[in-house]
């Protein structure tokens, strides 16, 4: 007969499994045609976001870079979610065929196309990613999109360090965990990439938080032990990328 402790542990595991985020996330990066950035945003604000929801596409967040390295006012990054790959395919098909979207699209492009280039990444949530709960917990904040490329064979070790140490220590130092993803199975980077969003009160607060985090003895010990176990750095050379972003006025996440 199982002990009460064992039964309790099994119930906790079962609850965690039921609560697991199994959605397929889609990160899309749009580069506006010259002079069309505001018109592109207006189309999302007035039409696309609402019509996405009509067709079962969940709006998660929409952001523009604080440091626009790709040209002044051209780049929009957004994340949406689908119940599954099959649902994604169906939703995009019905969305594109929606007469209201077709009319809005046609009207918005009377004077030329609004979008010059689109990049798409399909993502799945890690088991340590927090529940995404828009719109936020009050007060203005900046977001930081961070992309890590793991050293060969060390993605699982990187996940373990985030799961067991990093996400907790981030919160202790004022860094708000928003979401953690890896590319979906079969997608480029699925075996070596971690993509995540955190939030800060400001860019200055971000600098101070990471300074304190880096100096934390608990972090230093966790990093040392994880790298000794793996036989070296868990990330590839130059494998940590960061981009500060601000939410658009129509983003659910603020």
> What confidence score (pLDDT) does residue 173 get?
98
What predicted TM-score, i.e. pTM, was given to this entire model?
A: 0.89
Residues 139-178 pLDDT 10s: 679 999 999 999 999 999 999 999 999 999 999 999 999 9
> What confidence score (pLDDT) does residue 132 get?
84
| Residue ranges in the chain whose pLDDT is less than 50 | 1-18
Pseudo-torsion of CA 43, 123, 234, 148, nearest 10°? -10
| Residue 86 near residue 22 (C-beta atoms within 8 A) | no
Two structure tokens written together for 218: 């608990």
> What confidence score (pLDDT) does residue 70 get?
54
d(CA 138, CA 128): 23
Residues 16-48 pLDDT 10s: 444 689 999 999 999 999 999 999 999 999 999
Mark 42-76 as b/e (b = at least 16 C-beta within 10 Å). Answer: ebbeebbbebbeebebbbbbbbbbeeeeeeebbbb
Average pLDDT value for the chain: 91
């Amino acid at each position: 007969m199982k002990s009460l402790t064992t039964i309790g542990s099994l119930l906790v595991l079962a609850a965690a499994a039921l609560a697991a985020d199994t959605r397929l996330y889609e990160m899309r990066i749009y580069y506006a045609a010259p002079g069309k950035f505001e018109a592109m945003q207006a189309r999302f604000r007035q039409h696309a976001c609402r019509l996405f929801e009509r067709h079962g596409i969940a709006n998660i967040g929409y952001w523009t870079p604080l440091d626009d390295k790709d040209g002044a006012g051209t780049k929009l990054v957004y994340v949406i979610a689908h119940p599954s790959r099959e649902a994604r395919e169906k939703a995009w098909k019905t969305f594109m065929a929606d007469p209201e979207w077709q009319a809005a699209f046609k009207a918005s492009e009377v004077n030329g196309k609004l979008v010059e280039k689109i990049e798409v990444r399909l993502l799945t949530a890690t088991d340590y990613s927090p529940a995404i709960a828009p719109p936020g917990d009050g007060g203005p904040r900046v977001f930081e999109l961070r992309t890590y490329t793991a050293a060969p064979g060390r993605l699982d070790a990187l996940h373990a360090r985030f799961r067991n140490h990093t996400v907790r220590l981030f919160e202790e130092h004022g860094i708000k965990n928003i979401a953690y993803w890896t590319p979906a199975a079969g997608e480029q980077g699925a075996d070596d990439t971690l993509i995540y969003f955190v939030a800060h009160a400001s860019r200055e607060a971000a600098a101070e938080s990471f300074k304190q985090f880096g100096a934390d003895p608990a972090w230093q010990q966790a990093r040392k032990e994880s790298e000794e176990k793996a036989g070296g750095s868990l990330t590839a050379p130059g494998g940590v990328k960061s981009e500060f972003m601000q939410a658009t006025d129509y983003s659910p996440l603020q």
